Each structure stands twice: as C-alpha cells, then as structure tokens.
Amino acid sequence: MPEAIIIRDFKLEDYTALVQLWREVSLPYKPRGRDTLEKIAREILQPTAIFLVAEAKEQIIGAVLGTHDGRKGWINRLAVAPGFQGRGLGRRLIEAVEQRLDDAGIDIVACLIEDWNTVSQTVFTKCGYSRHDDIHYYSKRKNKDV
C-alpha cells in the first residue's frame, strides 16, 4: 500500500524543511531577501496567501506557494522531493491551490517558470496550463536578494 500523503497549510515550523526541499530540487533560494523566515511569516498572515506542503511520515516532501491579487492567482515554487516525483504529487499540489483560488472567486491562474526548469514546464502543461511566448516578464527589484 502506498504511504499516506497529506496536503496541509504551511506552518512556520516547516520553514527549515521547506528550504531544504527547495535546495534539494535546485529552486532559487534568497536567504537574505524574500525567503527569510521573517518575510515568509509576514506573507502567510495575508488573506491572499496559499502556502501548502505535502507530508508523508511527518516529512515535508512537497510544497507550493500560491497567492492572488483579487483578480489573478499565481502559483509559485512548486517543489516535489526527487523520490516522490512522477507520482502525481505536483498535480495534487497544483489542484489544491487551484481549488482555494476557485473558492476565492479567482478565474485566472498563472505561473512563471524559468526556461531551465523543464520538469515544471512539463507538469504545468500536463495540468492544462498554456505557455505564452508573447508575454515578456519585467521586474524591478530593490536588490538581488529579493
């Protein structure tokens, strides 16, 4: 029988395991910027934050960060531990965020994926997301750590 995997809200006690998961799957981590414990603690208090983790045997094996601006939802930082990839856990995490966004009345869900991250591109395509090569991403950052 496959082990039980639960998807639940992220708690601050999960922070160290979340960072370790990001490192394990080579997702960018900004320890002096947007990814500090303090910044994440502030973010999860926002009513628009949907930070979820997947847990098996009390170990964090997946995570996804979602949010919305009242009009459009965003899915960020989807991560699944290597030993659990290819089993549909990424899809389950995406669907969990989508459900919460749907409950909030959000009709558009988007994500940004770096060009090197072909695994995430494949997962989101399989989940029904369309790539838009006609959109150019711009950002303005206070510093390189945000």
Tell me the per-residue pLDDT of 68-120, one tens digit each, with 9 for 90 and over: 999 999 999 999 999 999 999 999 999 999 999 999 999 999 999 999 999 99
Domains of the chain: 5-126 (3.40.630.30)
Mean pLDDT within 2-7: 86
Residues of the chain with pLDDT > 70: what percent?
A: 99
Instruction: Report residue 106: phi and psi, to 5°.
Output: -90, 125
Position 2 confidence tier, pLDDT thresholds 50, 70, 90:
low
Query: Is the torsion defined by CA of 88, 90, 92, 94 positive or negative?
Result: negative
β-strands 108-111, 5-9: how paired? unpaired
Indicate the pTM of the whole model: 0.92
Report the C-alpha gap between 90 and 120 in whole angstroms.
9
